Amino acid sequence: MTFCVVGAGFSGAVIARHLAERGHKVVVVDERSHIGGNCYTERDAETGVMVHKYGPHIFHTADERTWAYVQKFGTFKPYVNRVKAISNAHVYTLPVNLLTINQFFGTTMGPKEARAFIESKADKSITNPQSFEEQALSMIGPELYRAFFYGYTRKQWGLEPTQLPASILKRLPLRFNYDDNYFNHPYQGMPEEGYTAIVQNILNVDGIDVRLGCSFESLKEDFQHVFYTGPIDRYFGFRLGRLGYRTLDFERFVDEGDHQGTAVINYCNEEVPYTRISEHKHFAPWEQDKFSKTVCFREYSRLAGENDIPYYPIRLVNEKKMLESYIDLARAEKGVSFMGRLGTYRYLDMDVTIKEALAACDVIDTALQASELSLPAFFVDPA
């Protein structure tokens, strides 16, 4: 059988390889001139530093199957994401932990004292937080919220935190020890040769035809099934309207030596127009000392236009209603499955993308054994 995979990111690559290893022909198409999607990495021509072209990506997971899978296609070096934040002309450590609390309030509290102190700051009248702001106030109180989250969130989302769902903040940890590892997953690391090499190795199998600079709409062939990882609204010609996304602009600059001493610094105050600066040689500490220059990127967030790269699905009330209508259209469509961040209109980390694609492969195997191929429109409910 011949299949089509739309998108050469992790979702598409995992599905394509799985089908090809089972003897099927797979056409992988991507409008970009490269594979890897938003995880694309390349060597910076001026400095030699491995650059994450579409913003920093740190691999972290608690799923053993996912971790074992990616390690088959490249070497992952140990890496811990330690984020700093500048707020009101002071440098702090994130996520909010015991050091952050003691730094901010000028105290020397231990874990029990700090927990009781923050609980005294938290707004206990908020028992069922509905918005980002209510979630923050119920967790950490007004001072830490204003210092680290209010201005940053307004810049990142272009909205008042009162308009954003509480679920956005629920992903952020609050710790009462000195652990400054931004993630708490047992498996964390960075690919030694970058993410592009990982995706290339996944796709490097007989039976896969990768076509770059090629749109799905331009294809003339017939396929037994299409695995679509592009924007779900685009597949239907935006007939119900465009789903909302935030996009990012990156301002590149080069410096001698070490610019900021760490990979990522968040700028929390609203009067600073960018959200953060990332210094990419720090994402590869095993090689950073060999570079005499360093390359950094200031990151600006704004509403995505028609020709912008979609990064973060907004998923406000009007987007959810539109999404539900697109989901209904997708379930009525024959011969196509929607996958990944854009296909399901969800914010997904890399590990979740791969985990879901591997789970989809299990469903695909069962379907291929049947007399008639029948695959769902969604392997994971996008609603």
Catalytic residue among 30, 233, 279, 299: 299
Tokens read off for 292: 């005499």
Active site residue 299: yes
Cα separation, 22 vs 70, in Å, equals 19
For β-strands 2-6 and 25-30, DSSP reports them as parallel
Active site residue 175: yes
With 0-12 / 13-18 / 19 or more C-beta atoms within 10 angstroms meaning exposed / middle / buried, residue 253 is exposed
Catalytic residue among 17, 234, 276, 315: 276
Catalytic residue among 17, 234, 246, 341: 246
Catalytic residue among 63, 308, 333, 349: 349
Active site residue 246: yes
Active site residue 324: no
Residue 147 is given by DSSP the state I
Which residues are CB-neighbours of 48 under 8 A, at least 6 positions away? 290, 291
Query: Do the beta carbons of residue 238 and residue 58 sit within 8 Å?
Result: no
Catalytic residue among 17, 175, 234, 341: 175
Active site residue 209: no
Query: Do the beta carbons of residue 126 and residue 145 sit within 8 Å?
Result: no
Query: Do the beta carbons of residue 274 and residue 300 sit within 8 Å?
Result: yes
Tokens read off for 208: 């896969």
Query: Do the beta carbons of residue 383 and residue 270 sit within 8 Å?
Result: no
How many angstroms separate the Cα of 332 from the Cα of each of 8, 208, 235, 357, 383? Answer: 25, 28, 13, 22, 16
With 0-12 / 13-18 / 19 or more C-beta atoms within 10 angstroms meaning exposed / middle / buried, residue 265 is buried
Active site residue 46: no
Catalytic positions are 171, 175, 246, 276, 299, 347, 349
